Structure 1
């Protein structure tokens, strides 16, 4: 996975001093790396019963759509509050300074459907945890969460595993 790690740009001091921002858009722009990442995200779930992929706004839409295509299943967008046009259900989560909320349409999943959650990066895990809780509220069974990047020092993967959700990631960046 070194070739995938090399395809991810690091931007120092963004969005604030001391942060090493891991920019997956460079990986998405590299056809070979993008294909390899999607294939690697699909691999642990190939042959498992999955009814749909839920992608977390916004880069999770790109990756999740590609993963859903490879798995031949539908796609559910997990969006920020107020972005979906039909009736929604939502789940709030805490940010460093304040609260945010993610939503899905009320009919996005049916009870008992098996859902794989996809996003580009797992850091503290707040947004992914909200997506898990939201999809479970809708009656879904979470098969797992798949990320390109894990920042293990921030504890997000452990936070999701504490919810009894399997977490996979392709590369990790320590100390971030």
Structure 2
């Protein structure tokens, strides 16, 4: 059966080749260069927020429980390592209220694999903040989007309820 499926796929590919309908990899995506060519990639000039922490304006979340974007300048805060994470000096719950920052949500203080509460300690798998959270930037949008998020609870555009709904629908 696998052999027959493989023959069918090969036949389809050959028909595209004969018809001349292959699309060159430089014609796909937004870069318009070969996907194998990393030497011709030029980074766009991006205007990231230069506002210091506490003075910046936050963007709403893109969708419910989306990681919020970083509204402030990151100079002096990177790189983030397991030994040194400057984000935690303001965003752990015990510091956040004093400095007026957004505290990390409960989901960051729990081992989501075991469900074990880390009692206020950032979970080890969550140390690299910029893996999910990216700096806000003023950019020209390459492709317009008319997506409008719908938030199912009152503060969904600015806070997370992930721990409350994580197992919703799971039996």
Fold match, TM over 0.5?
no
- Greater Rg, structure 1 or structure 2? 2
**TM-score using structure 1 length:** 0.22
More helix as a share of residues: 1
- Greater share of strand residues, 1 or 2? 1
TM-score for the superposition, normalised by structure 2: 0.22
